Amino acid sequence: MPATTFDIVQKLWGLCNVLRDDGVQYAAYVTELTFLLFLKMAEETETENIIPEEYRWKSLTSREGIDLLDHYRLLLVQLGKADNSRVQAIFNNAGTDLRQPRHLHSLVTSIDQLDWYSAKDEGLGDLYEGLLQKNAEESKSGAGQYFTPRPLIDSMVALLQPQPGETVHDPAAGTLGFLVAADRYLKEKTDDLFELSTDLQKFQRESAFYGMELVPETHRLALMNALLHDIQSPILLGDTLTSEGQVLKNADVVLTNPPFGTKKGGGTPTRDDFTFTTSNKQLAFLQHIYRSLRQPGGGKSGGRAAVVLPDNVLFEDGVGAKIRADLMEKCNLHTILRLPTGIFYAQGVKTNVLFFQRHDKDEGGTEAVWIYDLRSNMPKFGKRTPLIRDHFAEFEKAYGEDPNGKSKRIDEGEEGRFRKFTREAIRERGENLDISWLQDENATSMDDLPEPDEIAASILERLQTASREIEALQKELAT
């Protein structure tokens, strides 16, 4: 019986036991597998011409022992200097934490024996996406702390309806979840792009999707994801909140989930085009996003965005209120979706999706904001109750078919989940958009507590960290 993508992902994740036995940390699992998968997938897709012959997959399967490990280490260095720019970027500063040749041989042999015929039939991109999601679901890895659930991404993409010829931008690209979903949406609408003209097909592959990611290891995974989905447009390594981010502009569509917290290392963003100075990364990203949207013109409406942001963006005083006011002047902030708790792997994170469109002027953009409460009286999501696309069905129906949020809506009043608040009412609240009206019967429920496996994973991670610190201290004292 042919293997499914799920089966193959499970087998790949099972190889992490080999990595753990060699001392590789959870956060590095997918990176280690990515290097090997890249080489094997190149062989399976007959695209090995982009890799120097002496460093292709067969150069690993034909070796054993210390010769294999030495060759692999050399391979990683040399591919980081490859002529092909995408190969070079994926292997840039690559290294391995593997120390035992037998563990590397086990990985190579196991990957070589997977059902690659079925994997190709189901889609190598889907396989890699599944591996990224599996890594995020493992709370021990830390990779999924703010991983955006796929059902939420798919809902946001479907509501914004990216069209052929439009640019789609993610200033906090992560592993490329939003851009891959937007690409998939367009390919499904256009018979894998075959319904488009030759010029549009070229545009979709080479120019439609672009983004920036700050963390080198995450950027590496994003490049691999782009490669497997035939996304050839630039995915840049850089800090959107510095001058590097100023190249990300004139977007037709922005889909993103910016990182939470304050700017790493303290300080404030160094963008000289921001009106408001703040160390709050979400507020800084929000400024970037609404400034990066294309203004109406040339027969086209203004750029539109759907952005995941935590509650503090809705209520923070001072500069926060000023940024929200500026957003509502320059854009039509037409919809806010209050998301359920527990859908992110970090406990206690309360988030929203802001939907807005660039106005043709720098004032008067928002007349009213519709807020949909999908948080009150909802189940506690987690491994026991997974979030699925159907949970967004009623919201999508209320949102309507217009991607710019202009569809007719029905105010359900204080008893329903969807309500309209005028711009004047929001101004009277001090620009505070943290509005709730339903009595949440689950607010003090035991369901709000972390799941047992999450508690155990957190304790284990802290013990491992403490153990490593003690070991390092002992070595330092010994010398």
pLDDT for residue 124: 86
Confirm whether 31 is domain-assigned: yes
CATH number of 201's domain: 3.40.50.150
**H or E element, residue 256:** strand 253-256
Q: What is the mean pLDDT of each run of 10 residues along the chain (479 residues)?
A: 74 81 74 91 91 95 95 96 92 91 92 86 84 72 65 97 96 94 96 95 96 92 91 93 92 93 60 88 94 90 95 94 97 96 74 96 94 92 85 94 85 91 96 92 53 51 57 61
Name the pairing type of β-strands 368-373 and 418-422.
antiparallel
Same domain, 130 and 160: no
Confirm whether 466 is domain-assigned: no
Q: Are 324 and 433 in contact (CB under 8 A)?
A: yes
Same domain, 194 and 114: no
Same domain, 289 and 262: yes
Same domain, 10 and 62: yes
Q: What is the DSSP string of 5-72?
A: HHHHHHHHHHTHHHHHHTT--GGGHHHHHHHHHHHHHHHHTT-GGGS-GGGSTHHHHT--HHHHHHHH
In angstroms, the CA 414 to CA 383 distance is 32
In angstroms, the CA 22 to CA 29 distance is 11
pLDDT for residue 236: 95
Q: At residue 291, what is the residue type? A: R
How many domains are there within the chain? 2
In angstroms, the CA 245 to CA 336 distance is 26
The terminus-to-terminus CA distance of the chain in angstroms comes to 58
Same domain, 368 and 248: yes
The whole domain housing 39 covers 5-134
In angstroms, the CA 447 to CA 381 distance is 9
With vertex at residue 9, the alpha carbon angle to CA 6 and CA 10, rounded to the nearest 5 degrees, is 85
